Amino acid sequence: MHHVSCPHTHKQNGTTERKHHHVVETGLTLLAHASVPFSYWSDAFFTACFLINGMPTRVIAMQTPLERLFGEVPDYTFFKVFGCACRPNLRPYNNHKLQFRPKKCVILGYSSPHKGYKCLHIPSNRVYINSDVVFDENVFPFSNASS
Amino acid sequence: MSSHDRRLRYACSSCWSSYSTHSFLSQSSSQQRSSCSRSYKQSLSVPRLTQDNRVLVEFHPCFFFVKDLATRELLLRGRYRDGLYKFDAPIIKQVFSSLRASSALWHTHLGHLSSQVVRHILCGHELSSVSNKLYVVCDACQQGKSHQLPFSLSPHVTHAPLKLIHSDVWSPTQTSVSGHNFYVSFVDDYSRFTWFYLLKRKCDVFDIFLKFQIMLNVSLIEKFFVFNLTRAVNT
């Protein structure tokens, strides 16, 4: 059965509206911490949603949504600081063997189907999805670029 | 303020009796006023005067004023003589018409205040009003202050996953670097698990919904079956 809320009556869809708040506020916080431009909101919000699904919440008795729905315990060691510097293993992308291997990238969240990280190479504006990544979680390339 | 109160109490206890305002006015003449100090008939209760007529009385060392409570317009004045405060000639004879305002009028006086607060003020300050009707729909309020009505939380509780899914489309003001303008989220009421899909156009929502539905049918239902089965076996 499909229910629709009245126009301009957000309270009838309170659960999603509350979730929007949570996703947007978390996403903006991620952007702010790493000084990532607003135009990357889609990556930040996707990451926020990914994180929220793995965090315990009082609404469901301090269980995580992931655990309650799929029975899976989230792997918290997989989570890294959004927008920090990282060096993915880009050897397969190299054209010849004498090329330097890792490029300095920015982590822009997770790729859930791949179980990997989305790494943005700022100069070429290219995103690499990789699981073999070395992180430097105290360096934020976007912050240095803006300053 | 305290000195004002002291003066008022002094006046009440020594001179003003609890005589009717109307009688005082109907009999008020210069002769009777001059004999005020010797007769109770020409004396006046200040609380009664202020409450019945919606006025305030200001006592100063040598004179006093009676003013309209709302507008602060000067209605009457008098002087302090022989230990008493005495009226001069009344300025406006209709001043003590003693008409009581209705609660609707109070509502208007007080800047279209909510009925609850109006009632609180009327009770707290012992102001008289004709009726205390609980709720009157004010046309001006509806035009100027129409707002959403209070709502209660939904008592609905889901006991199984995917029985109820909430969904909504959200749009920021800025297009993302990936060219997305919207996102649609699907929230499972039971687990609060959120599926998040980015959209370039709003009209893509239905396609995304179909994709979401297929994903649920294909992968999740099987998973649930196994998951619930293992839980059932374990318990």
User: Does position A2 have pLDDT exceeding 50, yes or no?
Assistant: yes
Residues of A in contact with B227 (CB under 8 A): 70-71
User: Chains A, B: CB contacts under 8 A, how many?
Assistant: 85
A3 part of a folded domain: no
Which residues 87-116 of A are in CB contact (within 8 Å) with B?
none
pLDDT of residue B132: 53
Q: Does A126 touch chain B (CB under 8 A)?
A: no
pLDDT class of B119 with cuts at 50, 70, 90: confident
User: A60 and B174: CB-CB below 8 Å?
Assistant: no
Read off the pLDDT of each residue in A22-50 and give the average, rounded to a whole number.
94
CA distance A98 to chain B (A): 32
Output the pTM of the full model. Answer: 0.62
ipTM of the complex: 0.85
Q: Name the architecture of domain B165-234.
A: 2-Layer Sandwich (3.30)
Tell me the nearest-neighbour CA distance from A15 into chain B, angstroms.
Answer: 7
Pick from A45, A66, A71: which is nearest to B227 by CB?
A71
- In the three-class reduction of DSSP (H, G, I as helix; E, B as strand; rest coil), residue B17 is classed as coil
Residues in chain B with CB shorter than 8 Å from the CB of A42 are: 176-178, 180, 183, 198
Q: How far apart are CA A26 and CA A15, in angstroms?
A: 17
Q: What is the pLDDT confidence band of residue B88, given thresholds at 50, 70 and 90?
A: confident
> Is B151–A11 a contact, with Cβ atoms under 8 angstroms apart?
yes
**Structural domain boundaries in chain B:** 2-96, 103-145, 165-234
- Asked if the structure places residue A95 within a domain, the reply is yes
pLDDT at position B208 over 60: yes
Of B148, B176, B193, the CB nearest to A40: B176
* Residue B224 Cα, gap to closest chain A Cα (Å): 7
Q: Is the pLDDT of residue B4 over 80?
A: no
DSSP A62-129: TB-HHHHHH-----GGG---TT-EEEE--GGG-SSTTS--PPPEEEEEEETTTTEEEEEETTTTEEEE
Mutate to test the interface with A, among B175, B196, B225, B229 (most CBs of A within 10 A): B196
Statement: residue B14 has pLDDT above 50: no
Most confident option among A77-86, A95-104, B75-84, B216-225: A77-86
Query: Is A4 within a domain?
Result: no
Q: Is residue A103 part of a domain?
A: yes
d(CA A83, CA A140): 6
**Which residue type does A95 have?**
N
Bridge partners (DSSP) of residue A119 are A107, A128
Q: Is A28 on the interface with B (CB under 8 A)?
A: no
Which stretch of A79-93, A114-128, B11-25, B192-206 has the lowest confidence by average pLDDT?
Answer: B11-25
Burial pattern B63-76, b for ≥16 Cβ within 10 A else e, equals: ebbbbeeeeeeebb
Per the structure, how many domains does chain A have? Answer: 1
Q: Does the beta-carbon distance from A41 to B148 stay under 8 Å? A: no
Interstrand relation of B63-68 and B74-81 (parallel, antiparallel or unpaired)? antiparallel
Averaged pLDDT score across all residues of chain A? 88
Domain region containing A74 = 10-146
Residue type, A80: K
Residue A58: inside a domain, yes or no?
Answer: yes
